[in-house]
Structure 1
Amino acid sequence: MRKLFILAGITTLGFAAQAQNIRNNPGSNHGNDFEQLGTILPTPNSYRTASGAAGPDYWQQRADYRIKCALDEKATRLTGTETITYYNNSPDPLTYLWLQLDENQHSASKNSGYQVASSASKLSLGELEKMDRAQTDDSHGVNIISITGADGKALPYTVNKTMMRIDLPVTLKPRQQLVFTIKWNYKISDRQKYNGRGGYEYFPEDGNMLFTMAQWYPRLCVYSDFQGWQNHQFAGSGEFALTFGNFQVEITVPADHVVGSTGECQNYASVLNSTRLARWQKAQTSKEPVEIVTLAEAKQAEQQKASGTKTWIFKADNVRDFAWTSSRKFVWDAMPVTVEKKKVMCMSFYGKEAYGLYRRFSTKAVAHTIKSYSQFTIPYPYPVAQSIEASNGMEYPMICFNYGRTEKDGTYTEATKNGMIGVIIHEVGHNFFPMIVNSDERQWTWMDEGLNTFTQYLTEELWDNKFPSRRGPAWAITDYMKLPKNQLEPIMTNSENIIQFGPNAYSKPATGLNILRETIMGRELFDYAFKEYARRWAFKHPTPADLFRTLEDASGEDLDWFWRGWFYGIDPCDIALDSVKGYVLGDGKKVMLPEPKTEKKKLDKPAVPEFDDISKIRNRNDKSIEFLTDKDTSLQDFYWKYDRGLVPYDSTFTYDYTDPAAAPLDDSTSKKFAGRYLYELSFTNKGGLVMPVIIEWTYEDGSKETEKIPAQIWRKDEKHFDKVFLKNKAVASVQLDPLRETADIDVSNNSWPAVEVKSRFEVYKSKQAVRGQSQGMNPMQK
């Protein structure tokens, strides 16, 4: 069979404009980077104030759903009826409503119609099949059977690709509500073939399916004070803007299926046998995960398929969406965690393929995430949090789909383990951003992905001090920041226009927030302001301006220069130490540096972060922090020991030092400052992004001192400055940004005297760890 190779990256084309970085003095070397954002941000009003808080007239819509649906496993079809009560809390009369039909993106004829550039020489088999499907009616997409009002009369509607407009016979006035019913069905897509968030996965080894039901019902669009209807087409990358409401959902599935869902189940006594119900009761107070459905039972169900159906009933209040999963393959375990005296049931559902990883780690990772995010934002408000192993990663209220399967012999690579833990933390964390702090993902992907990735980083750091977090440390973003500018766009860019989606929407905003926390504001000021943002905008619809203004308002820091550079610009940080002129005061002798010498420094193995960043150091030194893998020894698996040298490994590199030099001063000055030293340092902003300048001085006696110059040093000249320092001891060397806090893309110009820097290939090679399934040697198996 002829093989087609997968294209490394595909650009999704869109048409929404990006936010502009207006510069008031573009022809000058100053007066730009530190200008206030001014008219770049929307004008404050009674809905959204200048402080970043919701105003006295703030409003938002509400939509309640009562849904009955039935899963036909054999035909892979879902049929449903939903009754929606829509509350018009706006001051505006509405003559129509917009709903999302996201399942239409799987259709060959009803999708958004947006296309991507492609090359025949780099075409993948999946792309070829997609082109073939586009030429025929593949029967996918939502079929609307009827839409009726409360009086039973039909309501006219228009389907425009992935959107549907319902025309109202009578204007829906402010403070009024409307009740209407939609009947629909659709063919469920093969998620492995269509690459969608929802669908089914077929397991040929045992002939069973695993269903992940997401974006599965017609959903109200957001109508807001800042843009009216959010009715952008669903093109795949930009996710969702949704309205809060209450849900009651009845799900009819094959009788031997196990169902996990948004919300709390209302009829476990009816759908669980007495043995499983007793285990569920035991799990309510257990300190370890309890298997409600055991591995043996799941394997038996795979082979002995039962007949008939069962209906599971779930209820969820004040959520923006609803998702569920169903399969006879599931093992199900659960345990509680307490958040501010409130019990949250943490649960995992997974097949035998993931048992070796999920049974040990998943539910405990869920519990850890809920506790950690509650510490940094607001207390988790919902009664349930769940992780479903479904060979993908996607989030919904109280439930998320993740990956992490073992080899057939039960072993796994460290990349698989760390990827699984990372994706569980990330997807469970999405409960806070954007499920609770409900930003518009389709317009500003970074407001949920970036904020969530940042809090994920904080949570990973509290899981294990050696966890190889890829997104958060400043040093890890530099390869992206140094790309050619035609491959970059500002963070403040519409989701469909982003080329480097992961770095732009996830890594760069997460790194920026971590730089604010660790380097610019400090943890105390930042943590207070970040919690205030979460508190102010929980269960509301924030915009970027609300975040920017709140962080400044609650901290007392003017951060407009940072938003301007990091969020509205694409310039990287590259601060060069051009020269050091040293003078000894008093005796007239030159200060000399020692000759270059080589010193070997031992490196950790690849899965451990190559750089011990400032967050890890401070967390280690904070006696109030206890890492979960230290406290719970059951989490100390093979790789925990491997990372700590309990299983041997070896790696080294070398670097050079050079003696400092200085020139004499005149005699009169020497008498006044006898025995002291002047050092004049010259700096150039080669990258364009203004940042603090952090200097580590190493003295001839071996002692060290670190000084931080705030970013405002660049105010009068954003390209260059010189600064003189008075020291009581002779300096042996100078190092800029020793802990790599500023995302400087070129560390070769950060030292005096110059030291050898690892090649780009070595740096790239040491940062290969990725989330998810890995390829390569499996030391555990070996």
Structure 2
Amino acid sequence: MRLKLLMVAASGLALLASAAQAQVSVGAADQSKGEYEDAFRQFEGEDWPTPNVYRAATGQPGPAYWQQKVDYVIDVRLDEAGRSLTGSQRVTYHNNSPHELTYLWLLLDQNGFKRNSMDRVTSTSNDEGTFGMFDVVQVLAAQDWEGGFSNLAVTDARGRPLPFLVNDALMRIDLPAPLKPGQSVTFNMGYTLAIGDGDLTGGRSGYECFRASDGQSDCIFQLAQWFPRLAAFSDYEGWHQLPYLGSEFPLEFGDYDVSITVPADHVVAASGVLRNDNVLTAEQRRRMAAARTAADPVYIVNPAEAAAAELGSVDGTRTWTFRAENVRDFAWASSRKFVWDAMGVPNGDPDMPVVMAMSFYPGEARPLWDQVSTRAVAHALEVYGEATFPYPYPTAQSVNGPVGGMEYPMITFNGARPIRAADGTPQRVDDVKYALAGVIIHEIGHIWFPMVVNSDERQWVWMDEGINTFVEFQASKLWDADFDASGEPRGGIIRHMLSENQQPLMTNAQSLTNYGYEGYVKPGVALTVLRETVMGRELFDRAFAEYGRRWKFKRATPYDFFRTMEEVSGMDLDWFWRGWFYSTDHVDISLDDVVVATMAQPNAGGGQQQQGPAAPPAPEPPSVTVLADRAEGRVPLVERIPALDAPSDQGSAEFPVTDEQRRVWAASKNGQFDDLIARARAYDGKLYRLTFSNVGGVVMPIIVQFTYSDGTTETVKIPAEIWRTNNRTVTWQHATTKTVTSVMVDPMQQTADADVANNAWPRAAAAAE
């Protein structure tokens, strides 16, 4: 998922610190101390896992490699008015491991939206003494709406109840009999799920509503991580049970048959292939057939038809049925507002010779999305397929809505939309073009990493985001040589690598404080340096593509990547991994002196040399990536298709942006936050920020008892994960309309706290000696 670039840039500017190195000790990241430090010390046999029958020393899957398989048959119904869905599913779990299993673990990521979830309760705040209006807005939104799964039920294949346990965002199902190696088990589940307002709750799913001129509200629903999903079970970890703290997910591959029931006038985009195309009109089916061989995107639902659907009123529901094979997840989106365009993209896989690139977006996203989205999908398919392996699925989709950027098999959610003035006139068109193309390329790229080359982002974020940022950089420069994309070894990454606010890339992903740099930018830059400067394209490209082919539809670890790159290229790269991935050191090559021997001795008499005018700053050298691309005859897409860079603020000739559309757009968001903002302005309570220090060094849950002026008390238990990004000091906030008169930590003395004298606020006076 793409972080907001402004947030990344701002964090980079905040890191303009001294050039002092940050020495971080994280196991294998340690280096020898003293005057001698062996930068070429080998990882094999010391820090990396020992090769075995599952994972070979060459970086390949071993002869006994295995992974689990999970198949789903799901029926889900969207309640548009109630902003919720109801689902039932039949799950078949195939135990391909050599282990006997007596229980199964599932992920309930949506439980992160429960009020007392670990993700919410351990969310930290800044330590300033004041709070802003939107601090209150967020607190009030959390108080007004609670998400998460409810009405969970589990039965075996015969309908008999199975016992289960829910632990925050994890669920354990106890099996009636041990599941032996080679066996399968089938069970059924039922559940309901509240859908949150994406603008208020954030996250990877939600709804976004637009108010039309008649006062009605039409919405876009984007559903992700919306059903109970089997957790990963691997040869190196067993069950993957890291808690859900907002990060992404390790899952198993399988086949999905999903039936989605929505209002009859909705259009649905989903992972997989539509099986019942009778939900489309005859004309829409004709357009889809034409799009398969078209040179340019073809409207399946054109803007006029989408606008008419918003004005109409259709009763009843319609069920869309999708089939997705060999995928590790399933996501979907639904709205009556969707314009839908598509085009076929030639693919290098003879089993998948054409991929349907498709985009779904509301009128508010036009005309930019018409021009850029499906072209960006097609461009990503071309570049990533060349860098690794041909795209393995029949569709690749880009959907506009409340989610800023997120990927799932065959479908991505992308939030970039034209920026408009109050009268609806598009602003900063070129900036938004780059933002839209960039986020689509990035998210489509994630279908390779980690949706096909599987990895665990909760452990190693760089395997997902960093590798993808690297390939995205190549694709961005082949879209437009002037594309300002992460991946260039200059600018903000240098400032970051000089700062003290760093952690090695091999740090547990959930403990990273600079997720944007350590997860995305630094590993992306590292691989660009490795390709363009250290290894050269010929060696790098062969090894990188081999890594992709080896671990296609399998679960890779960092050591599989490191070993493959070394074995295929014939280069010892341990020094590179140690410097870029296991330490917080930076690069600094110094030119300290230049001596020129000369016969003459100008100014020998000691006179002062005359100073000339200051030299103009040296121009920034061209990107070596762009130079190499041009040397290979690779022409950026905007030079091949000039229309991509043409002005797009007036719509198309066929569907111009009308004054009425501008007026409706300008009014569409009015009042979206009026209620919460009004309440925030009128809020007469307090937002208490509590700062805790870990003096002893052992992290523990924090048990806090508040006493209020009315004599009542409230006790809150904060899980130990609040210390995950800073194990010395944290700041936490507590909103209440009451007045706090005192606070006590560990009031029942149940954590073995050695010094209770520093547990109270206000601090008790010291006893007289």
- TM interval, shorter chain, is 0.7 to 0.9
Change (3 A) 1:157 1:398: same
2:417 is matched with which residue?
A: 405
Amino acid at match of 2:551: W
Alpha-carbon separation, structure 1, partners of 2:269 and 2:462: 28
Q: Which moved more, 1:571-580 or 1:381-390?
A: 571-580
| 1:393 equivalenced with 2:409 (yes/no) | no
2:331 is matched with which residue?
A: 323
Change (3 A) 1:160 1:130: farther
Decide whether the 8 Å contact of 1:100 with 1:220 is kept in 2. yes
Alpha-carbon separation, structure 2, partners of 1:77 and 1:101: 16
Decide whether the 8 Å contact of 1:148 with 1:155 is kept in 2. yes
| 1:293 equivalenced with 2:284 (yes/no) | no
**Greater relative contact order structure (CA < 8 Å, 6+ sep):** 2
Q: Deviations over 1:716-774 (max 9, x none)?
A: xxxxxxxxxxxxxxxxxxxxxxxxxxxxxxxxxxxxxxxxxxxxxxxxxxxxxxxxxxx
Alpha-carbon separation, structure 2, partners of 1:393 and 1:33: 38
Choose the corresponding residue for 2:485, options 457, 463, 469. Answer: 469
SS in 2 for 1:578: coil
Decide whether the 8 Å contact of 2:141 with 2:201 is kept in 1. no
2:220 is matched with which residue?
A: 210
Choose the corresponding residue for 1:350, options 351, 357, 361. Answer: 361
Decide whether the 8 Å contact of 1:465 with 1:620 is kept in 2. no
SS in 2 for 1:253: strand
Decide whether the 8 Å contact of 2:469 with 2:486 is kept in 1. no
| Percent of residue pairs identical | 43
| 1:635 equivalenced with 2:633 (yes/no) | no
1:284 is matched with which residue?
A: 292
> Residue 85 of structure 1: CA displacement?
0.4
Alpha-carbon separation, structure 1, partners of 2:534 and 2:610: 34
Alpha-carbon separation, structure 2, partners of 1:133 and 1:477: 36
SS in 2 for 1:583: coil
SS in 2 for 1:580: coil
Alpha-carbon separation, structure 2, partners of 1:591 and 1:446: 56
Decide whether the 8 Å contact of 1:22 with 1:40 is kept in 2. no
| Pairing of 1:733-752 with structure 2 (within 5 A) | none
Alpha-carbon separation, structure 2, partners of 1:24 and 1:50: 23
Change (3 A) 1:111 1:82: farther
Alpha-carbon separation, structure 1, partners of 2:29 and 2:477: 37
Change (3 A) 1:209 1:591: farther
Decide whether the 8 Å contact of 1:144 with 1:182 is kept in 2. no
Change (3 A) 1:465 1:133: closer
| Pairing of 1:180-195 with structure 2 (within 5 A) | 180-195=187-202
SS in 1 for 2:533: helix
Alpha-carbon separation, structure 1, partners of 2:272 and 2:371: 24
Alpha-carbon separation, structure 2, partners of 1:438 and 1:363: 25
Change (3 A) 1:517 1:416: same
| Pairing of 1:495-514 with structure 2 (within 5 A) | 495-514=509-528
Q: Deviations over 1:670-706 (max 9, x none)?
A: xxxxxxxxxxxxxxxxxxxxxxxxxxxxxxxxxxxxx
> Residue 18 of structure 1: CA displacement?
8.1
SS in 2 for 1:40: coil
| Cα RMSD after superposing both structures | 2.5
Q: Deviations over 1:471-499 (max 9, x none)?
A: 3444441121122x2x1101111111111
1:557 is matched with which residue?
A: 571
Q: Deviations over 1:195-242 (max 9, x none)?
A: 111011111245111000000000000000011000111111x21101
Alpha-carbon separation, structure 1, partners of 2:264 and 2:324: 23
1:145 is matched with which residue?
A: 152
1:166 is matched with which residue?
A: 173
TM superposition score normalised by structure 1: 0.75
Amino acid at match of 1:561: W
Choose the corresponding residue for 2:560, options 528, 537, 546. Answer: 546
Choose the corresponding residue for 2:321, options 298, 309, 313. Answer: 313
SS in 1 for 2:454: coil
Change (3 A) 1:266 1:412: farther
| Pairing of 1:343-742 with structure 2 (within 5 A) | 343-391=354-402, 392-406=404-418, 407=420, 408-483=424-499, 485=500, 487-583=501-597, 598-600=614-616, 612-623=622-633, 625-638=634-647
Decide whether the 8 Å contact of 1:262 with 1:399 is kept in 2. yes
1:335 is matched with which residue?
A: 343
> Residue 574 of structure 1: CA displacement?
2.0
TM superposition score normalised by structure 2: 0.76
Amino acid at match of 2:527: L
> Residue 617 of structure 1: CA displacement?
1.7
1:227 is matched with which residue?
A: 237
Q: Structure 1: 5+ residue runs without aligned partners?
A: 1-5, 12-16, 604-609, 641-782
> Residue 133 of structure 1: CA displacement?
5.9
Alpha-carbon separation, structure 1, partners of 2:76 and 2:354: 30
Decide whether the 8 Å contact of 1:356 with 1:411 is kept in 2. no
1:103 is matched with which residue?
A: 110
2:42 is matched with which residue?
A: 36
Q: Deviations over 1:386-420 (max 9, x none)?
A: 01111411110110011222222345432211111
Alpha-carbon separation, structure 2, partners of 1:400 and 1:125: 32
The count of aligned residue pairs is: 614
Alpha-carbon separation, structure 1, partners of 2:287 and 2:32: 68
SS in 1 for 2:583: coil
> Residue 115 of structure 1: CA displacement?
3.1
Alpha-carbon separation, structure 2, partners of 1:46 and 1:106: 41
1:675 is matched with which residue?
A: none
SS in 1 for 2:561: helix
Alpha-carbon separation, structure 2, partners of 1:313 and 1:639: 35
Q: Structure 2: 5+ residue runs without aligned partners?
A: 1-6, 15-23, 604-608, 650-769
Q: Deviations over 1:325-360 (max 9, x none)?
A: 000110000000011151000000001111111100
Alpha-carbon separation, structure 1, partners of 2:346 and 2:334: 27
Alpha-carbon separation, structure 1, partners of 2:406 and 2:602: 60
> Residue 20 of structure 1: CA displacement?
2.4
> Residue 633 of structure 1: CA displacement?
2.2
Change (3 A) 1:410 1:133: closer
2:17 is matched with which residue?
A: none
> Residue 579 of structure 1: CA displacement?
1.8
Alpha-carbon separation, structure 2, partners of 1:76 and 1:338: 39
Alpha-carbon separation, structure 2, partners of 1:9 and 1:475: 13
Change (3 A) 1:166 1:210: same
Alpha-carbon separation, structure 1, partners of 2:548 and 2:602: 54
SS in 1 for 2:584: coil
